Structure formats: C-alpha cells, structure tokens
Amino acid sequence: MKLSDLNTSEEGVIVKVLGRGAFRKRIIEMGFIKGQLVKVIKNAPLKDPIQYEIMGYEVSLRRHEASHIEVVSVEEALKMDAIDYNGVIDSDVLKNSAFKQGKTINIALVGNPNSGKTTLFNKVSGAKEHTGNYSGVTVGSKTISFEYEGYTFNITDLPGTYSLSAYSPEELYVREYIIENIPDVVVNVIDASNLERNLYLTTQLIDMDIKVVTALNMYDELERNGDKFDYISLAKMIGVPMVPTVASKGKGMALLFDRIIQVYNDNDPILRHIHINYGKDTEKEIAVIQTEIYNNLHKSIIDHYSTRYLAIKLLEKDTEISALVDKFGDQSVIDVCNRSIRRLEGILNDDSETIITDSRYGFIAGALRETFKGSKHQKNKFTRVIDSIATHNVWGYPVFLFLMWLMFFSTFFIGKYPMNWIDKGIILLSDFLSQNMTAGPFKDLLIDGVISGVGSVLVFLPNILILFLFISIFEDTGYMSRAVFIMDKIMHKVGLHGKSFIPLLIGFGCNVPAIMSTRIIENKNNRIATMLIVPFMSCSARLPVYLLIIGAFFSDYAGTVLFLVYLTGILLAVIVAIVLNKFVFVKENVPFVMELPPYRIPTFISVVKHMWTKAGQYLKKMGGVILVAVVIIWTLSNYPHNKAINDRFDNSIATLKESSLSETDVNNQISAMQKQKKAELQEQSYLGRLGHFIEPVISPLGFDWRMGVALFTGIAAKEVVVSTLGVIYQVDDDGSPDKLSEKIKNAKYDSGVKKGQNVYSPIVAISFLAFILIYFPCVAVIASISRESGSYKWGLFSILFTTSLAWVVSFVIFQLGSIF
Amino acid sequence: MIQEILTYLAIVLSIVFILRKIWKIFFAKKKTKGCDSCSSCDDSLIK
C-alpha cells in the first residue's frame, strides 16, 4: 500500500520509494529509505501535508509525495505471515514483511512492434499470449508474475511502439502507463538486427529519466549478418545496461533478469542518467522552458515528470503534455514555449519536431559509429558519402587540418581589407580631434590613450567575425561534430574522452563559459583536468595579439602561422592532459556519445545571429574593460610628471633654436629631442618603472620592458596587450600615420646595452606569441577555475603552472633561435 | 582647467569600474541552478 493511505497513528515499514531523479533523491535524503519504520502522526482526509514520525523525528510530506512511497502496513503483514496478532506487532515482524515485499519487482516491457517483446514475455512466463501488433483504441496490457532468485517479477507487456510521442493511442498508452504506474524497471526490447530505428525509442526513455535495461533481442541475427557490435561500450555511453538475448530460444534470459535485479537494487555499474545533447540552439531553448516550468508549474507535476523531459516534449509540440501544462501551470509556460519554438524554427529553418527527431537520430548515429560495424547500417546517402571522408580513419585528419587552415587563412586574408578601412577611420578621427581640440591632458588622454588603445583592438573586429562565421558554418552544417568525432579517437588515449571536448571547443570562443561548461563532466578529476587545459585553447581575446604580431612579422604566410599557433595550443593541451592523468589524477573515463547529426545547409539567420552575438560581446568589452584599462595605462604611462627631464629638454631646445644651424637641421634635431624626451618621460613613469622592475625576468625571453608591461596588463583581458602596446607606441609617433604593426616592427631599445638595436625580430615574435598562448589566462578565467573546482588552490595552480610553462617555452624558443 | 577635471574624473571612474569588476568576479555570489534530476551527476560542485 501507499504511505499516503495509512491512517492517523498507523505504522508501516517502507518497501520502496518510487519516482525518479531529484525527487526520489530528496525523499530518500529525508530518511524515507527501504526498511524504515514510519508512523502517521496526523493524516486528515483531503488535507495536506501529512505528518509522519521517522527515525525519531517528525516530518511532513505532501500527499502526492507520500503516494510515491510503498509501505507494508500491520494489516498487510498479518495477511502475509499469518501471525498470531494480539493487538501489538513487533517492528521486526513488520520489517521482515517489508523485506519480502521489497523483493517484488514491477517490470514494464516496451519496444518496437515485432521486436520480440511478447515472445520474451511468453518465454519467461510460460504464457501463450498472441504475438502481434495492437491496433486502434483497444490497446491494453497483460501482466504475469513469476519467481526468480528469490524475487517476484510482475511483468507487464505493453503495446509495441516506435516512439513515445502522442500520435497514436499505443504510444500514449505506453507513456501514460510508465508515468502513472512507475514500474521499478522498464525493459526496452530492441531488435538487434535493426538498431538505428529501435534505439530511437531508447532515447525517449532516457529523456524520461527512468531505470531502463535493454534486451538486445534476436542477437543471433545480428551475428549471422556478420555485424560487429560493441554493446558493452554503447551501454556505458548511454548509461543503459544491455543484455543480448534470443527470446525465441530462451537465450540470455537469466542474464537479463540478473541485470534487472542489479538495476532494481541500484547497484548496476553501468546504470546512470545522461542528457542527450540536442544541439546548442535547442539546448538553449530547453533551458529557457525548464526555468519557466520550475517557476510556474504545479509542484506535483514537476515531481512526477523530469522538467527537461517536459521541456523537450513541449518543444516537440506534444499535445498531451501541452494540455497537462495548460491545466496545472501558468499560461506563461505555454507562451514561453511558443516563443522558443518560433525562435528555434527561425534559426534552424525547420519544424521544431523535426529538429528534435534529427538530433535523436544524430545521437544514435554517433553512438553506433563508435560501436557498430555492420553491413546493414544505413544512413542518409548524402551524409554517408560525406562521412566516408570526413570521419575516415585516415583521410578525416587531413580534411580537418585543411579546413582549420582555410579558416585561419580567410580570417587573415579577407579580414585585412575591412581592417584597413577601420584603421583609416581611426586615423581620421584622431587627426580631427588633434586639430580641433585645445591642448591639455584630456586631449592627450583621448588621442594617445582612448583612440589609440581602443582603436588598436577595434581594428581586429572583422577578423573575429570571419573566424566566427567559419565556426558557425562548421557547427550548423554538422561538420564540427565530425571534427570532434575524429579527434575523440586520439583524445580518448590521453584520458580526455567524451565530454571534455565540449568545454575545449567552447574555449576557442571564451575560456570562462568553457570552464563553466566542465560541469557536465561527472568525474571530478576529469573535470579539474579539463579546467586546467582549457586555457590552452586560444580564446578570441588572444586573436588580436596574434594578428598584430603575425601581421607585422609573418604577413606573407600569416594564415599558416596563425593555424600553427592554434594547433600548438591544442597539442600542449594534449601533452598536459597526458601528464596530469599520469601523475596528478587517476584516469577514469566516462563514456559519451558524440552526436553525428545529418548534414544540413546552415541558415542565413543562424549564421548572422552567431556573428552578431560575437560582435556585440566584442564591442561591449571594448566599451568596458578595455576602455577602462586604456585610461589607467595612459595614466600610468604619463604620471608622475618629471620636471627635471622636461626642463632639461626644454632648455636644450631653446638653445638649439638660437643656434646658427639651418632651419631644416634645427627642426630635425628638435624632432629627435622631443622623441627622446617622450621616451625618457615614459621610462620614468609609473608604467616605465613597473616595466623595468619586471625586465630582468623577461629579458632572457627576448622581451623589452614595454612587452613586459603589455603582458602584465594582459592579465585583465588579453586584448589589453594590444591596447597597451597601442598606448605605449603612440608616444613615439612622429606624425606618420603608421599602423601599430609598423611601429612595433621599427621599435628600438632607448637605453641599456642594446640601445639602438631593434626590439623585435622574427624569433622574438615567435617567443612572444608562445608566451601569449600559454601564460596566465585572464583574471575572469582564474576566478572561474577557483569557483568551479571549489578551491582557490586550483586557480593559483593554474596561474603558476601556465606562467612557468610559458616562460620555459619562450626561453627555449628565444635562446635556441638566437643560436642559429 | 576643464580638461584636467575631465581627465581626473575619467581616471577615478576607471578605478571605480575596475574595483567593481574585481568585486563581481571574486566576491559576488553567482546565482546558478543545479541541473534537473541527474541522480548520476556529482551535484556537490553545482551550487
């Protein structure tokens, strides 16, 4: 009986807690566990909540929560054991009855029509049910019981269905049966000779977040076909135990029921709940609807259904779920859902139902691609032809590398035209202000600081948009999934299988959301290892620095150099992952399915939306952190005013003007003196002092104090490296409209033993690029690592580790490069 | 004179902005929600 059926002052012992996921966990955490004695303190009819006593304390449960707890009452115990009852019953007797009752497992058999479900049902029960499809509205189910290994199995054979949508009465019946009756275990019978279609139903059961065991029926047919199926790996990936069976011959039955017992007792090593990834855009809308469901749907529905499942069903336009939400929720849930559907359909230019269906088949395709090799595994012809190259064991890699190279080449080659236009616009604005503003500190701040510093970063906006255009096209066509798929094979060997890829991919955009997305990795060690290697993925903030340096020193083969920088980051991540997994963390892989959705032509709206979002973020950063950093850097490079230097140069210039030299000579010398004065003032500024303070540490890497300062300010955000160089080299501007890259190329040492020598050489540039790639990820990333790992220790470790590694790598590059 | 006031104002506002940013990154509490019903997930880090 249900706990909610016990009357005031009655006692019962808990047999099992039904329900799923978070709801079940919460109830169990409250102390309602198998074998516990519970007494009803107050249960007024039709009143909520009900008051209970358990483990010596009082607790209230809502009626619908109590209805999920099965108990053995005194009355039931007496019936079961025929005890001599004299008004008092020993709690041990009650517990013994509960133990016996707890050995009853309720099973629901679900599967596609003709998957051999009823054959299995007949075989285990000895029944002679007619095997065949159900039809019309007269759908029903048969339940039989039998004993095995001390357990009583109540098996219900449900109608065969291809899915759990609300299209046919059979589908609806099966779905409602599972939701209403809450079977302990659902056995999904699959026709092993037709895996792709049969696993579709499995994906829906996974979404429902229920305990599932899969019977791979007719496994002999699969073997006869010569197909090779690594079902153990597939089971681990999807978190559903799989047992090969041949129901007609009774093969695999014992193994199947042993597995069911393990799952029932929550001690199956494979069983876990996973989330099928429906793609970036769909997942975003699922999250929006889920939040609305949390806030505005009746608690009893949320406890009964997984909110993610509800959100997916609403996106699929499931009429039954929509009606349920309409009945028990606020109109806002339906409104939010309709808006999400419109947005999703607008972006992907397809019906939301089709989008979800395609994603499910993509999930299945990805899962089978890794585990199944067979003659009958068919896919969409177009997808099959492209995949034969894109995911080929050998050709897949050169194709991937070529496409990556093409992306970086285009970023540079196409990007240089709009980049020049923006640059000219900035020079025009600078000239305009220079001519129309009266002299003063604010004018200097605007021209030498803000315009020069922010402008030097702004010019790279087109390059960033081009990069994201390519990434967006790769994602939307489905190629990115293939890239991840082929890389997964390599990464699997270094202990970074599966889910680690998603954060690493996000890391190319920005490392902060990448660190946050490591939450999807269940294993803590894997999660921290992934967090520590995410900073090696070159984020878009580092791109302006790369473009500046590469444009100045390697413009003839810029795309290739840029590609190599990114590739170096990936290789470093791989090496560090190997080291971390070998020495710091014990490797523990959690299998994961790489979805392989069918190829599709990306929609214009989707691509533009991604680029627009990226442009917005970049401009926002420009008007925020970068602008503020530029003001501070300008201040530090212009203060304190050094009166002695000013007076010395002013006196020299005055003397020069009174000399007998020709006017041209005087002007040339004055210009040189003013340049020298500005350089000396800058060296004596707060920024100069800071630069000279850190110079001894960075000079073995070939860097001067200005580069040191830029690296230091880059801690705030990597674009600030470019802004800082923009502000610093603005001082040297002698009126020529040179671009920052030209100024860097011609930069010379102002003092010391290297005075007059060029600061930069190609080898210094490579050393600098390597340092930028590896060193201290920005402050926000460190804060994210600390927060997500739950300890500042890992944030600190990341700072020390990346910066030390950057120093060593740059040192080796510069010192070795200087020899040749 | 006006230029000097504007310059100092820009500097002060920038410092305030930076301090606020540091506060937000390191000390402000983030409102995040745990994922739904993943009994298999280690929720301990998802606050």
Residue of A nearest to B8 (CA): A442
**Longest Cα pair distance anywhere in chain A, in angstroms?**
130
Average the pLDDT over A132-149 and give the result. 61
pLDDT beyond 60 at B37: no
A115 closest CA partner among A199, A231, A212: A199
Q: Which CATH number fits domain A281-378: 3.40.50.10540, 1.10.287.1770, 3.40.50.300, 3.30.930.10?
A: 1.10.287.1770
**pLDDT 10s digits, B10-19:** 999 999 988 8
Using the Cβ of B28 and the Cβ atoms of chain A, whether some distance falls under 8 Å is answered with no
Q: What is the pLDDT of residue A797?
A: 93
Of A441, A779, A790, the CB nearest to B45: A790
Contact A442 B37 (CB under 8 A): no
Other beta carbons within 10 Å of A178: 18
- Record the tokens describing residue A337, joined without a space: 């859902």
pLDDT beyond 80 at B31: no
Contact A21 B39 (CB under 8 A): yes
Q: Which of A787, A788, A794 to mutate to test the interface with B (most CBs of B within 10 A)?
A: A787
Q: What is the pLDDT of residue A231?
A: 92
**pLDDT 10s digits, A10-42:** 888 888 887 766 667 777 777 788 778 888 887
Q: Which residues of A556-576 are buried (b: 16+ CB within 10 A; e: fewer)?
A: eebbebbbbbbebbbebbbeb
pLDDT band at A221 (very low <50, low <70, confident <90, very high): confident
Of A294, A307, A442, the CB nearest to B7: A442
Contacts of B30 in chain A (CB under 8 A): 787
Using the Cβ of A236 and the Cβ atoms of chain B, whether some distance falls under 8 Å is answered with no
Q: The tokens 């159900």 sit on which residue?
A: A134
Q: What is the pLDDT of residue A87?
A: 54
SS in 3 state form for A774-816? HCCCCHHHHHHHHHHHCCHHHHHHHHHHHHHHHHHHHHHHHHH
pLDDT beyond 60 at A622: yes
Using the Cβ of A525 and the Cβ atoms of chain B, whether some distance falls under 8 Å is answered with no
Q: What is the pLDDT of residue B36?
A: 43
- What is the 8-class DSSP label of residue A298? -
- Listed by start position, the domains of chain A span 3-100, 103-264, 281-378, 396-584, 624-819
Using the Cβ of B22 and the Cβ atoms of chain A, whether some distance falls under 8 Å is answered with yes
Q: Which of B37, B42, B45 to mutate to test the interface with A (most CBs of A within 10 A)?
A: B37
Contacts of B41 in chain A (CB under 8 A): 273, 522
**pLDDT 10s digits, A632-678:** 989 998 888 888 888 888 888 888 888 877 888 888 888 888 878 88
Q: What is the pLDDT of residue A350?
A: 83
Contacts of A787 in chain B (CB under 8 A): 30
pLDDT beyond 90 at A550: yes
Contact B10 A783 (CB under 8 A): no
Nearest chain A Cα distance for residue B20, angstroms: 11
Q: Which of A294, A442, A450, A778 to mutate to test the interface with B (most CBs of B within 10 A)?
A: A442
Q: What is the pLDDT of residue A137?
A: 31
Name the least confident of A75-89, A235-249, A487-501, A694-708.
A75-89
pLDDT beyond 50 at A146: yes
pLDDT band at B45 (very low <50, low <70, confident <90, very high): very low
pLDDT band at A522 (very low <50, low <70, confident <90, very high): low
Q: Which CATH superfamily is domain A103-264 in?
A: P-loop containing nucleotide triphosphate hydrolases (3.40.50.300)
Type of residue at A43:
N
Task: Please say whether the structural domain A3-100 has been given the CATH code 2.30.30.90.
Answer: yes
User: Which residues is A52 bridged to in the sheet?
Assistant: A40, A59
Contact B36 A307 (CB under 8 A): yes
Average the pLDDT over A576-596 and give the result. 70
Contact A442 B30 (CB under 8 A): no
A511 closest CA partner among A531, A492, A491: A531
Using the Cβ of A313 and the Cβ atoms of chain B, whether some distance falls under 8 Å is answered with no
Q: What is the pLDDT of residue B13?
A: 92
Average the pLDDT over A324-342 and give the result. 87
Nearest chain A Cα distance for residue B11, angstroms: 6
Contacts of B18 in chain A (CB under 8 A): 628-629, 632, 716
Average the pLDDT over A295-311 and give the result. 82
Using the Cβ of A796 and the Cβ atoms of chain B, whether some distance falls under 8 Å is answered with no
For A250, the 3-state DSSP assignment is coil
**pLDDT 10s digits, A100-120:** 667 889 999 998 877 888 788
Q: What is the pLDDT of residue A489?
A: 67
Average the pLDDT over A312-324 and give the result. 88
Q: What is the pLDDT of residue A602?
A: 81
Q: What is the pLDDT of residue A394?
A: 84
A-B contacts (CB, under 8 Å): 88
The residue among B36 and A402 whose pLDDT is bigger is A402
Nearest chain A Cα distance for residue B29, angstroms: 10
**pLDDT 10s digits, A431-458:** 899 889 888 889 888 988 888 888 888 8
Contacts of A717 in chain B (CB under 8 A): none
Q: What is the pLDDT of residue A130?
A: 44
- Contact, A511 vs A535, CB < 8 A? yes
In angstroms, the CA A271 to CA A308 distance is 19
SS in 3 state form for A48-76? CCEEEEECCEEEEECHHHHCCEEEEEHHH
Residue of A nearest to B33 (CA): A291
Q: What is the pLDDT of residue A762?
A: 93
Angle between helices A307-315 and A195-207 (to 10 degrees): 120
Q: What is the pLDDT of residue A624?
A: 85
Q: What is the pLDDT of residue A46?
A: 66
Type of residue at A448:
D
Average pLDDT in chain A: 83
* pLDDT over 70 percentage in chain A: 89
**pLDDT 10s digits, A173-199:** 888 888 888 889 999 999 888 888 899
Contacts of A274 in chain B (CB under 8 A): 40
pLDDT beyond 90 at A215: yes
Q: What is the pLDDT of residue A186?
A: 94
Q: What is the pLDDT of residue A216?
A: 93
Contacts of A443 in chain B (CB under 8 A): 3
Contact B37 A274 (CB under 8 A): no
Contacts of A23 in chain B (CB under 8 A): 37
Q: What is the pLDDT of residue A722?
A: 92
Q: What is the pLDDT of residue B33?
A: 43
pLDDT beyond 60 at A278: yes
pLDDT beyond 60 at A795: yes
Contact A22 B36 (CB under 8 A): yes
pLDDT beyond 50 at A138: no
User: How far are the Cα atoms of A52, A222, A746 from residue A552, in angstroms, in the given order?
Assistant: 76, 61, 10
pLDDT band at A240 (very low <50, low <70, confident <90, very high): very high
Contacts of B26 in chain A (CB under 8 A): 783
The residue among A136 and A675 whose pLDDT is bigger is A675
Nearest chain B Cα distance for residue A294, angstroms: 10
Using the Cβ of A24 and the Cβ atoms of chain B, whether some distance falls under 8 Å is answered with yes
- Contact, A213 vs A239, CB < 8 A? no
Contacts of A788 in chain B (CB under 8 A): 45
Sequence-ordered list of residues with C-beta below 8 angstroms from that of A815, at least 6 positions apart, any chain: A700
Q: What is the pLDDT of residue A182?
A: 85
Q: What is the pLDDT of residue A163?
A: 84
pLDDT band at B39 (very low <50, low <70, confident <90, very high): very low
Contact A273 B40 (CB under 8 A): yes
Q: What is the pLDDT of residue A592?
A: 61
Of B14, B22, B41, the CB nearest to A522: B41
The complex's ipTM? 0.71
Q: Is the peptide bond before A49 cis (omega within 30 degrees of 0)?
A: yes
Type of residue at A503:
P
Name the least confident of A487-491, A604-608, A742-746.
A487-491
